[in-house]
Every structure is written in structure tokens, then in C-alpha cells.
Amino acid sequence: MDRVGDLILFMRVLDQGSISAAARGLDLSVAVASQRLKRLEQDLGVRLLHRTTRRLHPTPEGIALAEQGRTLVEDLEALTSGLRQGATDVVGTLRLTASASFGRQYVSPLLPAFMARYPRVRLSVNLTDELQDLISAGFDLAIRIGALHDSGLVARKLAVNRRVLCASPDYLRRFGMPRTPEELAQHECLILVGSAGRQDVWRLHDAQDQLHTVRVSGRLESTLGELLRDAALAGLGIAHHSTWHVCDDLRAGRLKVVLPEYSMADTGIYAVMPQRRLVPLRVRAFVDFLAEQFGDPPPWERRL
């Protein structure tokens, strides 16, 4: 039974004083409206209306239902109206998660402009290096970097994630610049430990696209890329970094690209969303905004 619909009908009958007027307002026949009111009374096990030849009067039970039911109906109508508005306007709360470093460096500075453009959007931003389950955690959107493995998500590529090897001028002065990938095995290398374990196998392509695979080692490893960047700046070894993470250091000369004639396979920076038939406009607006702001090339690749 459509209890909410029957409750709305009951409220209309009380407001308009007759079943026929309420039925016309809801595009129902009088017979169907009467049948639904009887069904509501039978389902609740109480009489809601006294019917006289001139007017309908609510019983005490009908008055109690009207007092509590009106709030329910108004809340439901406000909710459905808000949902309909969210499908046609950029409104509502956008729940976003991103990696801590990338989010702080490149997403956070863009938020004031986005909020100024869309003043009816609220933002809830979670910055963490832990991989979040978007559906169970209730996120609308994630910014993810690298290879994507979850086929149950929808992804839009925002930018290329180019990676380089880099070290400080002081380290290269003391230990020399490697001339081939194989020489990396004799150097102090800074190892990132990610969800897939220690990333101590580095793969580089030469100008002929031949793959060189080298297992590296070093005295320092970490789960945090920023710590490894700091270690590289301090001259502790050679690091493997995305250009977005070290672009300022490369431009300023605090870090130098190691083996610049070799390349590492590019990955991507993606906006990732749960699969939905209808994506909220606030989510689409934010993804479009990021794509517009990052551009091609993205800001971390310019003048590099």
C-alpha cells in the first residue's frame, strides 16, 4: 500500500473539507479517493473521519495522525524537492577524498574559486593516503593517482602523471651521476612502501623503447612520499617521484633529474566516482572544474 500517498490524501481531505475537492487536486476519482481512505483506516485499525451529509470531521485518532503526519509529509516533500533541485542545479554537499600531498598542493588552492562559482555547494574534503572505499564511506568523488584497479568505479582522466628519478646536486657531486639504469644498483635509493609493498624495482625505457629493470636498495624507506622528497633534498639518495610532487624543487635546482635520457611509464591522475545512472550535477561540475584548472599541460609540467 502507498501509505505516504494515502496520508497525503487524508491531509488534503482535512484541509479542503471534502473528498471530492481533495480528489480533484490529486487527479483522482472520488471513488478511488474514498477507497484509499477506507484502506488507510483498515490498515491502521481506527476510524479517522466522521462523515456527515454536510462535512467530514476528524476523529481524535484522525487529529493525532494529522498532527504527526503533517510534519512527515512536509519533510518528505522538502526532501524530494531538494533531490529534484540537485538533479537540475549545482547544489548540495560534495564529499571528496584525495591523497594528502596532492590534495594539499593542487586541490586545496582551487577550492575558494570553486565555492565562489557555485555558492550553493558545500564541501566535505578528506585528505588521506589510505585508499578509501567510496561507496561504503559515502564519498561522491576521489582523486586517485596511478593505475586503477577497481572496475566498479567510473573514472575520468584529469592529467598525465609523469615520473622521474631525481637527486640533490650535493648527492650527485659526492657519488656521481648514474650513466645507465644498471648503475642505480650501486647507489643509495630512497624506497617508497605502498599498498603493493616495497617499490624497489624501477623500470626505465631508453630512446629505443627498450625496457631496463633494476632492483634498487638504500638505507631509507617510507610510506610517505614527502619524507622521501625531504630525504632527497638533504642529499640522502636518489628518489622516484611524480613531477607534480617535485616540480618546484626541479625548477629551483634543488633537485636534478637523474638519467634524463630514460623515461618511466606514465600513469594518470583521475577523478573516480561510484557507478551511478545519474551523477549529481555538483560532482560533474567539480570534475569539469578540475579538468579546466589543470589543463594540458597541467601546472606542474609548465616551465619544467
| Contact (Cβ atoms closer than 8 angstroms) between residue 19 and residue 9 | no
Picking from 105, 149, 145, the residue whose alpha carbon sits closest to that of residue 242 is 145
**Mean pLDDT confidence for 177-193:** 96
The gap from C-alpha 98 to its chain's centroid, in whole angstroms, comes to 8
Q: What span, in angstroms and rounded, lies between the C-alpha atoms of 175 and 33?
A: 89
Q: What span, in angstroms and rounded, lies between the C-alpha atoms of 95 and 142?
A: 9
pTM over 0.85: no
| Contact (Cβ atoms closer than 8 angstroms) between residue 123 and residue 115 | yes
Q: What is the DSSP string of 3-26?
A: HHHHHHHHHHHHHHSSHHHHHHHT
CATH class in words for 92-161+267-301: alpha beta
pLDDT of 1 reads 46
1, 254, 287 from 229: Cα distances, Å: 63, 11, 29
Which amino acid is located at 273 in the chain?
M
CB < 8 Å & 24+ apart, contacts of 192-200: 192/221, 192/222, 192/223, 192/225, 192/228, 192/240, 193/221, 193/222, 193/223, 194/223, 195/131, 199/240
pLDDT of 260 reads 95
Which residues make Cβ contacts (< 8 Å) with residue 24, sequence separation at least 6?
none
> CATH 1.10.10.10 in the chain, residues?
3-88
Q: Put residue 139 in one of left, alpha, beta given phi > 0 → left and psi -120 to 50 → alpha.
A: beta
Q: Give the CATH number of domain 163-258.
A: 3.40.190.10
Report pLDDT digits (tens) over 270-289: 999 987 666 788 999 999 99
Report pLDDT digits (tens) over 128-164: 888 888 877 888 999 999 877 766 688 999 999 999 9
Q: Give the CATH number of domain 3-88.
A: 1.10.10.10
Residue in this structure with the C-alpha cell 600513469, named with its chain if needed: 267
> CATH 3.40.190.10 in the chain, residues?
92-161+267-301, 163-258
Report pLDDT digits (tens) over 32-87: 988 888 888 888 888 888 876 667 788 888 888 877 777 776 666 656 655 555 55
